[in-house]
Structure 1
């Protein structure tokens, strides 16, 4: 899959941009983050209505990403001066207030173009989100139309899932919010959030293998159920919850 010059499984397009970092201007490059995961998200414009909710949500969860060795970077076609003005505007007045993540300026639209999110007729960016691993390889692409924002929780889940497969190999695949009896995973892994637990009962009751219940999830020989912020290791009869 590709989006502009961004191809999954290939090195992510490099960039060099001026960013607002902790209230000051700083030059940043993708290579600055080598060895860390990066969540790079694009939004249309500063001083709009949906954008601040997303940016503030990512900012408020910045430490959650950092605990995973991941940095979050926001990008729009606005200048660094406009970014700073928006940050310096109180939230009750439609501003962002102080942020825990950098905002990158893309006045030339080159970054938006390279990542394939530039809406040419308006000169603004679609709501793209890209996950780049510690080797600089692009692992995930999401692009939303302008009215719909992104989920911070989903971005966190994806980073965790990619890191899990990095550690355990491609044979350990994951699913989220999917409930299936299929054999497409080896071993079968089902990832559910807490609100999905009622749907678990039939499979849990019908599991023919050893079962274990822990504070982190429910494990049987064929199924792994995840809730909370971490995966349970040891599935397919190779162990219980962590």
Structure 2
């Protein structure tokens, strides 16, 4: 299983951007930026849209931190497009189709017995090293605010104590 301080596995896959355009996305496309890669279980479910839309609403905050957001699930790009156009709404970042489940497996996010990914989150630095990995139950939505706080802490390059926030001392 992949661990923090290891190189993030590269991947290339089809993603949906905007209102439903298809494009190829590779992790290596984002060298020089921080990457927030998150996996979610399935399109057209109940908890997933709350996270997906929150990441999109906070896109400007990620941009100001030199970070890009990439969402991924085992659904097809066609399912992503249908969901965006029929309820989810336009997003400010790509939704990656991991239909083969290869990316989810590489990141240890795939729940093999269920056939879909858990809620896994990774922070990857501009050189491709993982600085944060979190796995939530499919029933428990993640905190986008905590992802942002953790990204800010990782970007300091310092030791940040519990509950650290920007402006506080590091140790």
Q: TM-score range by the shorter chain?
A: over 0.9
Structure 1 counterpart of 2:101: 109
CA distance in structure 2 between the aligned counterparts of 1:109 and 1:31, rounded to whole angstroms: 19
1:61 matched to 2:53 = no
Structure 2 counterpart of 1:174: 160
Give a deviation string over 1:5-50, Cα, whole Å, max 9, x none. Answer: x221111011001000113100010000000000100000000000
1:13 matched to 2:9 = yes
CA distance in structure 2 between the aligned counterparts of 1:146 and 1:130, rounded to whole angstroms: 16
Alignment of 1:145-224 (within 5 A): 145-165=137-157, 172-177=158-163, 191=164
1:47 matched to 2:44 = yes
Say which structure, 1 or 2, has more relative contact order (CA 8 Å, 6+ apart). 2
What's the RMSD between the two structures over aligned residues? 1.4
Structure 2 counterpart of 1:140: 132
TM-score w.r.t. the length of structure 2 is: 0.95
CA distance in structure 1 between the aligned counterparts of 2:162 and 2:141, rounded to whole angstroms: 19
1:175 CA drift (Å): 2.0
1:121 CA drift (Å): 1.1
1:117 CA drift (Å): 1.0
Give a deviation string over 1:171-195, Cα, whole Å, max 9, x none. Answer: x311233xxxxxxxxxxxxx3xxxx
Structure 2 counterpart of 1:83: 80
Gaps of 5+ in 2: none
What is the SS of the residue equivalent to 1:88? helix
Whichever structure has more strand as a proportion of its residues is 2
CA distance in structure 2 between the aligned counterparts of 1:112 and 1:122, rounded to whole angstroms: 13
CA distance in structure 1 between the aligned counterparts of 2:33 and 2:160, rounded to whole angstroms: 21
CA distance in structure 2 between the aligned counterparts of 1:231 and 1:101, rounded to whole angstroms: 28
Give a deviation string over 1:37-81, Cα, whole Å, max 9, x none. Answer: 001000000000000000000000011001000001100000000
Structure 2 counterpart of 1:231: 167
CA distance in structure 2 between the aligned counterparts of 1:101 and 1:175, rounded to whole angstroms: 31
